[in-house]
Amino acid sequence: MADLNAVKQALRAQQIETPSWAFGNSGTRFKVFAQAGVPRTPEEKIADAATVHRFTGVAPSVALHIPWDRVADYAKLSAFAAEHGIRLGAINTNVFQDDDYKLGSVTNPDPAVRRKATDHLLEAVDIMDQTGSRDLKLWFSDGLNYPGQDDLRTRQDRLAAALREAYDRLGDDQRILLEYKLFEPAFYATDVPDWGTSYAHCVELGPKATVCIDTGHHAPGTNIEFIVSFLLRQGKLGAFDFNSRFYADDDLMAGAADPFQLFRIMYEIVRADALSPSYGINFMLDQCHNIEAKIPAIIRSVMNIQEATAKALLVDRDALFAAQAAGDVLEANSVLMDAYNTDVRPLLRDVRVDAGLDPDPIAAYKRSGYQERIVADRVGGEQAGWGA
Amino acid sequence: MADLNAVKQALRAQQIETPSWAFGNSGTRFKVFAQAGVPRTPEEKIADAATVHRFTGVAPSVALHIPWDRVADYAKLSAFAAEHGIRLGAINTNVFQDDDYKLGSVTNPDPAVRRKATDHLLEAVDIMDQTGSRDLKLWFSDGLNYPGQDDLRTRQDRLAAALREAYDRLGDDQRILLEYKLFEPAFYATDVPDWGTSYAHCVELGPKATVCIDTGHHAPGTNIEFIVSFLLRQGKLGAFDFNSRFYADDDLMAGAADPFQLFRIMYEIVRADALSPSYGINFMLDQCHNIEAKIPAIIRSVMNIQEATAKALLVDRDALFAAQAAGDVLEANSVLMDAYNTDVRPLLRDVRVDAGLDPDPIAAYKRSGYQERIVADRVGGEQAGWGA
Amino acid sequence: MADLNAVKQALRAQQIETPSWAFGNSGTRFKVFAQAGVPRTPEEKIADAATVHRFTGVAPSVALHIPWDRVADYAKLSAFAAEHGIRLGAINTNVFQDDDYKLGSVTNPDPAVRRKATDHLLEAVDIMDQTGSRDLKLWFSDGLNYPGQDDLRTRQDRLAAALREAYDRLGDDQRILLEYKLFEPAFYATDVPDWGTSYAHCVELGPKATVCIDTGHHAPGTNIEFIVSFLLRQGKLGAFDFNSRFYADDDLMAGAADPFQLFRIMYEIVRADALSPSYGINFMLDQCHNIEAKIPAIIRSVMNIQEATAKALLVDRDALFAAQAAGDVLEANSVLMDAYNTDVRPLLRDVRVDAGLDPDPIAAYKRSGYQERIVADRVGGEQAGWGA
Amino acid sequence: MADLNAVKQALRAQQIETPSWAFGNSGTRFKVFAQAGVPRTPEEKIADAATVHRFTGVAPSVALHIPWDRVADYAKLSAFAAEHGIRLGAINTNVFQDDDYKLGSVTNPDPAVRRKATDHLLEAVDIMDQTGSRDLKLWFSDGLNYPGQDDLRTRQDRLAAALREAYDRLGDDQRILLEYKLFEPAFYATDVPDWGTSYAHCVELGPKATVCIDTGHHAPGTNIEFIVSFLLRQGKLGAFDFNSRFYADDDLMAGAADPFQLFRIMYEIVRADALSPSYGINFMLDQCHNIEAKIPAIIRSVMNIQEATAKALLVDRDALFAAQAAGDVLEANSVLMDAYNTDVRPLLRDVRVDAGLDPDPIAAYKRSGYQERIVADRVGGEQAGWGA
């Protein structure tokens, strides 16, 4: 049996990073539905992220996206965040929204575009120096829409060169998180399509480069917890971008599409004793709330991850290992399912109350008047928009 | 052996409809890369479509999208098209880009939104009366992002009611083409996700409702030519939206991702003697040229379909049926592959020359100076944009 | 809030049919791992099925597979089942294991093979007359491995002809359950690949033909609960073959791969008031227990379906419909998830105790000595084997 | 323009290895359809493989499967092959058909089973010493059917230990080819599911370990030519198992399902100058001819690979690289498609005639009387059967 006090302690210590862009408008290629009260500035996004932390207690940092969150003074932004009770987290680069990047950024056939894109990566490290961020998160939309469009192998050479430059620029306590994605926006080939590609580059780069798993970036049928387990074994799992999907990169709330999968992922984390912030994995959200209210959706996502984590912590590992060693398929599966089938919401309510929080973060948020306030206040100016 | 004269005649008679929106800008949720020379008005789109027809000889009609192509006087637009040597084709409704449609159009829980959406369908028939269009093409982005978000069954009732209204409004020579799509922009459930759903509604509506197959709208592994064959057998195949895909609804040039599949689809058409315009299938393109030049890409797509059709026509059906009847698996496959492996480009060059066209439409387009002209002329104003 | 007494009553009334073949050996094309104590005769399979019913109380019938379960006297077999406390259920035809069926059964190019296959369907109805079975379950492995191998359309004509013969042979209280499957054993095209094909044939056949949904027979990403909901609306859902899958037709224990999906399926059943046996849906299992003990695996599957059903019954439908009508995406999803996140195992233990059963069927089975007895008794003879 | 003489020379030098087991019976879990004339001994399989080489001229070696091809004297078997004009190729291990391997072989929780499986790997190297084979091909069916069944991470430790033992046993000119597979026969998790896992183990093992790509072992939508290109860049591509698939591991004839994909794969080979036998890639077939005649199917597969290779060799690489460098998407795609759309069958007929072969290998085989001879001769004894 799992020790309930240890479980509670682990849940209290858990940290989930929210993404600044998820508080802004988002949508599909068909339509972005704007929402009232959406932030217009990096500061307003930070205020929203702080609000999520205030009600959940486990979201103490917010990831930035450059240039969406570009400001004149990052030290000041950092201080602003601190005043609101959170800190600035990973710096995300954006080399996909400039017209120059139509045929790629760091893998573009044009050396001038590659230079520009690589410079942006270096700029992001400059910003990290100012924000005190540890993590440089790299996602490249680079790829091809048509067979023959460009040379697959040469693009890897270009990619490796740009990564090397960024890696060499890192400070001692900084690191690269290299994300991969099967497709979209490139529809034939992506330059970092899978964990293997990201892993191979990270190994060649060195110890400060690790893989970032976005749970929505895989081919159908991919066993994500296997990748989690494998990268943990290799010491190369650096971060998650949590979200959920039924089909492609749907970017729905974490845990909404397949809560059992999220539980299995968190079990591999727990089993490797990798949940604690000291282990170094950055558990981030990366989601789009196209039709639902943004702040409550992010709170809900945080809670879904907490619930999956609580269940993972409740797995009776002694019993599980014993059944596995005995080759008792049904019993081993049953031990795992016992934890999954447990209703952990009362436990999490206790954890929250112990931490001085409201046991029901969504209800507390609704009662707080925050939503009404931002709807009233944030009128005029330009709403922040991801992909818009 | 296929009769070469009959093959040439069939190829000369083939008709492919181009979509007005494919001449405008398009992109993904991450970025729309604008192109120089892109049309700003329905008239400019028609001019581009006419250009495709001028060089290919098999694209004599252009589909419109309402409200993107809304004009004050459709009769005048029709005349404008005729002057340019083409005609107006299917009228596509758009009930996904208004803020009201965030939770659906004809299946929205709000009756007022449903009314508005249904009225738009009726308006489209009004337009058809003026343009002389036969086809009302209906694609609904309606669906759910989250389990529980709305009631799956009730939404079917609402869908059926709206379809019935539109159907009853059709004139004698008009019909509904009901498209289906597995996902996107809805990520959990789509209200018309597959051909079965579309088919069942069409059967209930009556003879003037038929299914439209968009080749990019299926689950991975779906055998599209089976659907083609089945719907032909049931008398319910009304139209195609051709494009190609590696992953999801990538909307790449037809024939670019899996030319063998396109050939197999066209073989089912040929085998059912359904290629001729008199049969009534509307062979449309529905594509997005996000990174490639638009008019040449559409010409190329038309040529790809021509090549697949030529190969399908070259299948030695007597030999094929004989091998099939004999249960000779390898021989039957071999007969089909013989046609597929044939280089039909010389044949199609002959067909073009016979029709008074340049044998190489892309080269002829490039030499024509049209591209330079539109780049120079179409400055200022707002570029037409799909999804932008 | 759901009425707890009504929930309990519904759970007590639930009926799940077990498949005789799941008690026998099974495997993959790579290897069948034989298990000790596996039945050697139809009677021994019935005894095992009765054992599952004895411990679960909700599995009162067993489906037969002909010719695997062929006996001289079906009335006697029926009486044998009754003595053991269960009844004979659906009769499954097998037109895939005879050498004649290499290129298909009812769609074979050879008319003699088609005749043989169709005669087998008619023989199955003869057996139903003797067993008192209502359901003729038809699954055809018919299909093609290679493009061109046979004519897709002609095969539909042959299929329709065979179905018509079988349909016309049905008695007043008998019906056809027509199963569909995307692929395997045919790898290019299957003659009944999807629900649409099955549905179209059933509509043409008449009211005594309905669709059977095998939960493992879909393309990746297919929304199964949508199909459930749609077929219920059309009055054409006749049966389930429950099992679960991560990739293809894995035939794992129901609820093992995606318990949330199973819950969503059961919710559509409950929402349509279609759970009760009087509604007429046959809720069957169709699984392969390749590496796990068979009887406990089947008990576990039954329990997994019970748990999904209990959660579906607990959905607060008033609250759900209200949130849906209000367009409150998060609240509607939340109401559904509240039921899913509930631990229903205590409730089901109560239901079992109320019914005079042990609250823990697996433990009770283990204590019963049945497993030891069959291992000791069933020595010699030929073990029953699915696919072996 | 590609130099036609160089193209012909490359095609003449091409080598494809046939698999001994593909000449034997095979099937699905539903049924193995036995064929007349199928070999009963390793020698008869070698005779069939030699026949394929006699008519194609490019299949000079045959892969063995142990224990299916176990003989007392491998030197004698090697001499037998030489007499028939071919040589023995890769040695394939089989650790999936013994009852002990129900829960895995080298990753089994039971150390005794792991020992037995690892010993089998070592035995295979002993055999290689006798046959003079260079390649030890390792495919493990090891995996899990249910979450929790065993510990994902521990299984990797066990796998690494077994691979290390086998690696250390290799002679100077021997190497490991480590295959990966997404699923089947394991349905929840496979211990080597993807190229990344195989690659990571190979890197850790050392230079004598390389990845084997089976073209049918990927998740839907996987871009296989990307993997080819990436592994070539890393110097870790050792071999192919060619076959084709529409859905899962269908094991159809190479080039039958997606000939364009096969061409793209071969283009990456050609582009990296890796086609020549001296480069070291083992181009093997690994197929199942469940319903078609085996020897002609293998000849056809060889020809399909030749055609894809010929097209790849015809790509005008100067023009392609120029268009790629210029960012001309349509032109670059067009250059590639020009080669693909070429009918290379006349060229290959020339190559065959130049090599003293019949230009039409299938027709020549049919005329040869070989098939009639083996049907007459191979009566009695036990037919060789894969998976049966």
pLDDT band at D222 (very low <50, low <70, confident <90, very high): very high
- pLDDT per residue over D148-177, tens digit each? 999 999 999 999 999 999 999 999 999 999
pLDDT at residue B388 tops 70: no
Top residue of D328, D329, D331 to mutate, by most chain B CBs within 10 Å, is D329
Question: How far is the CA of B193 from the CAs of B104, B190, D134, in angstroms?
Answer: 14, 5, 51
Rounded mean pLDDT of C81-99?
Answer: 97
Cβ pairs B/D, distance under 8 A: 50
d(CA B16, CA B306): 9
User: What is the tally of helices (H) and strands (E) in chain C?
Assistant: 14, 10
Q: Give the three-state DSSP class for C244.
A: strand
Omega prior to B193 cis, within 30 of 0: no
**Where does the pLDDT of residue C388 fall: very low under 50, low under 70, confident under 90, or very high at 90 and above?**
very low
Integer angstrom CA distances of residue B302 from B61, C56, D189, D296, D337:
13, 62, 44, 37, 15
Residues pairing with B63 in the sheet: B19
**How do residues B155-189 score in pLDDT, each as one tens digit?**
999 999 999 999 999 999 999 999 999 999 999 99
Contact present, C284 and C63 (Cβ < 8 Å)? yes
- Does B149 contact C333 at a Cβ distance shorter than 8 Å? yes
DSSP secondary structure of A192-238: S-SHHHHHHHHHHH-TTEEEEEETT-S-TT--HHHHHHHHHHHT-EE
Q: Structure tokens of C113?
A: 């093979």
> Tokens at residue B254, please?
């037809």
Which residues in chain B have Cβ-Cβ distances shorter than 8 Å to A300? none
Q: Please give the backbone phi and psi of residue C214, each rounded to the nearest 5 degrees, phi first.
A: -95, 120
State what percent of residues in chain B have pLDDT above 70.
99
Residues of chain A with pLDDT under 70: 1, 386-388
Are residues C45 and C62 in contact, defined by beta-carbon separation less than 8 angstroms?
A: yes
Nearest-CA residue of chain A relative to C343?
A343
Task: Give the pLDDT of residue A385.
Answer: 76
Would the CB atoms of D330 and B258 count as touching at under 8 Å? Answer: no
Partners of C241 in the β-ladder? C214, C284
Q: Do D343 and B345 touch (CB under 8 A)?
A: no
Report the residue from A141, A185, A250 with minimal CB separation from B187.
Answer: A250
Q: What confidence category does residue D387 fall into, taking pLDDT thresholds of 50, 70 and 90?
A: low
Is B1's pLDDT higher than 80?
no
Cβ neighbours around D277 below 10 Å, total: 13
Chain A nearest-CA residue for B247: A187
State residue C382's pLDDT score: 87
Q: Ramachandran region of residue B53, left (φ > 0), alpha (ψ -120 to 50) or beta?
A: alpha
Residues pairing with A93 in the sheet: A66
CB D197 within 8 A of CB A236: no
Per-residue confidence (pLDDT) for residue C214, from 0 to 100 = 98
Cα–Cα distance for residue pair B324/A55, rounded to 1 Å:
68
How many other β-carbons are positioned within 10 Å of the β-carbon of residue B142?
26
Q: Hey, are the CB atoms on D221 and A183 less than 8 Å from each other?
A: yes
Q: What pLDDT is attached to residue D388?
A: 41
Q: How confident is the model at residue D381 (pLDDT cuts 50, 70, 90)?
A: confident
Reduce the secondary structure of A304-339 to three states and give it as a string. HHHHHHHHHHHCCHHHHHHHHHCCCHHHHHHHHHHH
Buried b (16+ CB within 10 A) or exposed e, C357-382: bbeebbebbbeeebbeebeeebeeee
Task: Evaluate whether B166 touches B122 at the Cβ level (below 8 Å).
Answer: yes
**C212 forms bridges with which residues in the sheet?**
C179, C239
C387 pLDDT more than 70:
no
CA distances from C164 to A50, C16, C191, D17 (A): 66, 29, 16, 49
Give contacts of A222 with chain D, Cβ < 8 Å: 194, 219
Angle between helices D42-56 and D370-377 (to 10 degrees): 170
pLDDT above 80: residue D353: yes
Write out pLDDT tens, residues B273-283. Answer: 999 999 999 99
The neighbour count for residue C23, using CB atoms within 10 Å, is: 29
In this structure, how many other beta carbons lie within 10 angstroms of the beta carbon of residue D42?
22
Record: contact B102-A182, CB cut-off 8 A:
no
Interface A-C: count of C-beta contacts within 8 A: 50
Best A181, A324, A330 residue to mutate vs chain D (most D CBs within 10 Å): A324
Cα-Cα-Cα-Cα torsion C320, C324, C330, C335, nearest 10 degrees, comes to 10
Q: What is the pLDDT of residues D179-201, one digit of tens each?
A: 999 999 999 999 999 999 999 99
What pLDDT is stored for residue C386 in this prediction?
63
Q: How far apart are CA A185 and CA B246, in angstroms?
A: 12
Nearest-by-CA chain A residue for B182: A247
pLDDT tens, D65-113? 999 999 999 999 999 999 999 999 999 999 999 999 999 999 999 999 9
**pLDDT at A308 (0 to 100):** 98
Chain D residues whose CB is inside 8 A of the B333 CB are 256
Residue D168 and residue D176 in contact, taking contact as beta carbons nearer than 8 Å:
no
Residue A212 sits at φ, ψ, to 5 deg, of: -110, 125
Show which subunits contact B, needing at least 3 CB pairs below 8 angstroms.
A, C, D
> DSSP assignment, residue B385?
B
Average pLDDT score over residue span C232-257: 98
DSSP three-state, residue C71? coil
Helix (H, G, I), strand (E, B) or coil at B376: helix
Nearest CA in chain B to D245: B221
Q: Please, is B27 exposed, middle or buried when counting C-beta atoms within 10 Å of its C-beta (0-12, 13-18, 19+)? A: buried
What is the C-alpha to C-alpha distance for residues D152 and D138, in angstroms, rounded to an integer? 19
pLDDT-derived band at B5, boundaries 50, 70, 90? very high
CB contact under 8 A, A259 and C256: no
Mutate to test the interface with B, among C155, C223, C261 (most CBs of B within 10 A): C223
Q: How many whole angstroms separate alpha carbon B111 and alpha carbon B121?
A: 15
What is the average per-residue pLDDT within C157-176? 98
Q: Which residues of C touch A297 (CB under 8 A)?
A: 330
